[in-house]
Amino acid sequence: MTEIHIPANEAPAPGSKSFRELPLSPAMQETLQQLEYLEMTPIQAASLPLALAGHDLIAQAKTGSGKTAAFALPLLTKLNPRWFAVQALVLCPTRELAEQVSQEIRRLARGQDNIKIITLCGGTTMRPQRASLEHGAHIVVGTPGRIMDHLERGSLQLDGLSTLVLDEADRMLDMGFFDDIVYVASHCPPRRQTLLFSATYPDGIARLAQQFLRDPQTVKLAEQH
Ligand code: ADP
Ligand code: MG
């Protein structure tokens, strides 16, 4: 396993952390400029080249470090908009986080045609969620329990999945989602990219990573002192 440690307080080297260096479409480069994403954050600079090259990733970084774009750009790059199948699934610990992630992916996807993103969380009835799934979606963002419910009832199929993201994985474990994550991951095709983001690296995360990631690269953002 390769580990890359990035000092959090490292001054950005001039010109070395631009999104321009990444293999992204001109439309995506344009969107990033419109959003005024000029330089990559340290976690983005460390993880994007690896994730865009197709590696599985364990990325350790805290809240506010720009993790969403670190997994959204790789999953959007691989997406086929003409194929109405769920090609990416992002698991988040709470509804609030799932909604934030959906919103950020939507912003980043605005240069791509007709990308449909559905947010599936507990606490609301299944029926409208089932109805929107029937119309098809490219990306699903949601909480593990509700995603598991849809898989059990057959309203969500993941056969066409190419990217699985576990966002804030340590918080999901704190909330008791370990078994649900195992259930969901075991319904994903084995040939896929898995990206795991976590602020800390407890035993449960190591177990998840061992079970569900393939030869992962590890990217760690050091604490700021
Ligand atoms: P995290 O998931 O690590 O908590 P987010 O992905 O939610 O962080 O990003 C935090 C904020 O920073 C968001 O408002 C996002 O739009 C913004 N952001 C992310 N990456 C960049 C960037 N490279 N340049 C400017 N703003 C960014
Ligand atoms: Mg986040």
| 132 domain residue, yes or no | yes
Whether 87 is covered by a domain: the verdict is yes
- 9 pLDDT higher than 90: no
Q: Is 66 in the pocket of ligand 1 (CB under 6 A)?
A: yes
Q: Does residue 65 line the site of ligand 1, with CB under 6 A?
A: yes
Domain contains 157: yes
Tell me if 121 is assigned to some domain.
Answer: yes
Is the distance from the beta carbon of residue 40 to the nearest atom of ligand 1 less than 6 Å?
yes
Q: Which ligand is nearest to the CA of 61?
A: 1
Within a domain: residue 203? yes
Domain limits for position 212: 42-220
ipTM of the complex: 0.98
CATH number, position 64: 3.40.50.300
Do the domain assignments include residue 14? Answer: no
At 63, the pLDDT band (50, 70, 90 cuts) reads confident
What is d(CA 90, CA 151) in angstroms, rounded to the nearest whole number? 14
Residue 46 lies in a domain: yes
Output the CA 121–ligand 1 centroid distance in Å. 22
Rounded to an integer, the average pLDDT of 166-191 is: 97
Q: How far is the CA of 63 from the centre of ligand 2 (A)?
A: 6
Give the chain's mean pLDDT: 92
DSSP string for 120-176? E-SSS-HHHHHHHHHT--SEEEE-HHHHHHHHHHTS---TT--EEEETTHHHHHHTT
CA 219 from chain centre, in angstroms, equals 15
Q: What is the pLDDT of residue 221?
A: 82
The pLDDT of 141-157, averaged and rounded, is 98
Kindly state if the Cβ of 198 falls inside 6 Å of ligand 1: no
Number of domains in the chain: 1
The beta strands (E) that lie in the chain are given as: 3-6, 57-60, 88-91, 117-120, 139-142, 163-166, 193-198, 217-221
Q: Give the number of whichever ligand sits closest to the CA of residue 48.
A: 1
Closest residue by CA, ligand 1 atom 17: 66
What does the pLDDT average to over 23-31? 96
Residue 47 in domain: yes
